[in-house]
């Protein structure tokens, strides 16, 4: 009942989707060619058995040394815009960056493109409110290039590829959107995509005009071991499904979660909070985890000068950041309000004024908050915040 009342109150503060004109979205595939350099790390022990909790903790906490990398890569993106001017002046462009084991379809509610009737689609919701969207397949996922999964596909370099994409977008390249160079850009990340966002706002604060973190919170010290990740039973992708993940592309180190129960307990809340058929689709479509993505010695990058609107949206039962990686180890609770683990993200943004920082705890939702029945309330909380800041 509390959740229903909260949802009703929030919905009442913002126009309903039925109040806007019917829109047919226009989407197209884009490939960005980017040259990027970064300071990655070199692992002392490059192998790990992800079914062994002790090995996982040892791998994640091992000593590393700097490893400068550079290269030129092709990055796939799906660009969408509403098929007609609405709301008067052009809205900002939202750049959508998914988390580990997902590609751009995460923001489409697992559809190939954003469909108006998909209530789990962030992109569909944003398009209905006049925003254009650019959904990325991060380096090493989907239809983007798949370089060395251990030494190349790491957070520093992946963040730099996104920075180069933003530079191209701001320069008016690739995207057929009038006046794009003068539009504001909103960065939207989920999970690992949010961690990449903290790097971009820290190292390139001029890139973006607002940042939205979803599926993220500050874990307590006892939650950082992520012991529950072993229940996903990660195996080499090319061995698990050689047809979908051929060894010619998916080198050793590209992993895939093989336990249906383990993935569900890591990414979702209680069974009554989401569609069983949607989860089946999730498990079928899951993308890979590059081993290098886990080598993040400092997952959060403090953004000392970034001072623009910042919002955190996370499911209350996010086992990944507010548990130990799985509901099997106990029901997680990220909390809500100023003392929540979401609000703790503010420590990463000391220059953001209090009136430009806010959070929303999405009830009855886990780590993949937008794949739950309560997704629309979460979408609304974000776009209400953006509207309040003229975005």
- Convert the pLDDT of each residue in 93-118 to its tens digit: 999 999 999 999 999 999 999 998 89
Burial string for 227-262 (b: 16+ CB within 10 Å, else e) reads bbbbbbbbbbbbebeeeebeeeebbbbbbbbbbeeb
| Mean pLDDT along residues 173-180 | 67
Contact (CB, 8 A) for 10 and 377:
yes
**pTM value?**
0.91
Dist. CA 288–CA 256, nearest whole Å: 5
Dist. CA 104–CA 7, nearest whole Å: 27
Whole-angstrom CA distances from 101 to 51, 135, 141, 254, 314 are 17, 15, 8, 10, 18
Q: What's the CA dihedral at 160, 166, 168, 173 to 10 degrees?
A: 150
Supply the pLDDT for residue 102: 98
CB atoms within 10 A of CB 319: 28
pLDDT tier at 364, thresholds 50, 70, 90: very high
Tens digit of each residue's pLDDT (9 = 90 or more) over 292-349: 998 876 778 899 999 999 999 999 999 999 987 788 878 899 999 999 999 999 999 9
Q: Residue 84: pLDDT above 90?
A: no
DSSP state of 90: P
Supply the pLDDT for residue 211: 98
Write out the H or E segment, with its range, that includes residue 377: helix 375-388
Residues in the chain: 391
Write out the H or E segment, with its range, that includes residue 124: helix 122-128
């Amino acid at each position: 009942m509390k959740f229903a009342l909260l949802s009703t109150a929030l919905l009442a503060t913002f126009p309903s989707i039925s109040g806007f004109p019917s829109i047919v979205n226009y989407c197209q595939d884009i490939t960005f060619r980017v040259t990027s350099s970064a300071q990655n790390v070199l692992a002392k022990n490059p192998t790990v058995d992800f079914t062994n909790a002790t090995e996982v903790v040892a791998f994640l906490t091992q000593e590393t040394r700097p490893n400068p990398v550079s290269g030129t890569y092709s990055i796939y993106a799906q660009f969408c815009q509403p098929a007609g001017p609405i709301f008067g002046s052009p809205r900002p462009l939202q750049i959508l960056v998914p988390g580990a084991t997902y590609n751009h379809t995460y923001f489409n509610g697992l559809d190939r493109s954003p469909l108006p009737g998909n209530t789990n689609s962030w992109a569909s919701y944003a398009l209905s409110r006049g925003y254009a969207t650019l959904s990325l397949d991060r380096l090493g996922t989907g239809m983007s290039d798949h370089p060395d999964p251990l030494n190349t596909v790491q957070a520093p370099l992946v963040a730099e590829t996104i920075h180069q994409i933003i530079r191209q977008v701001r320069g008016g390249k690739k995207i057929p959107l009038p006046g794009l160079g003068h539009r504001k850009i909103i960065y939207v990340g989920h999970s690992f995509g949010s961690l990449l966002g903290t790097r971009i706002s820290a190292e390139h604060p001029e890139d973006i005009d607002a940042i939205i973190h979803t599926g993220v919170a500050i874990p307590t010290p006892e939650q950082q071991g992520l012991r529950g990740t072993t229940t996903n039973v990660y195996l080499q992708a090319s061995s698990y499904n050689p047809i979908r993940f051929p060894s010619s592309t998916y080198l050793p180190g590209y992993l895939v979660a093989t336990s249906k129960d383990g993935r569900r307990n890591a990414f979702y809340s209680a069974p009554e909070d989401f569609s069983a058929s949607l989860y089946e689709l999730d498990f079928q479509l899951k993308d890979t985890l590059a081993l290098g993505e886990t080598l993040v010695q400092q997952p959060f990058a403090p953004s000392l000068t970034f001072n623009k609107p910042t919002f955190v949206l996370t499911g209350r039962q996010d086992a990944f950041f507010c548990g130990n990686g799985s509901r099997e180890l106990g029901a997680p609770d990220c909390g809500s309000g100023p003392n929540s683990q979401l609000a703790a993200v503010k420590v990463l943004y000391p220059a953001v004024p209090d009136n430009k920082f806010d959070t929303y705890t999405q009830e009855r939702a886990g780590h993949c908050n937008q794949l739950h029945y309560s997704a629309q309330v979460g979408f609304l909380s974000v776009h209400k915040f953006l509207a309040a800041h003229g975005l």
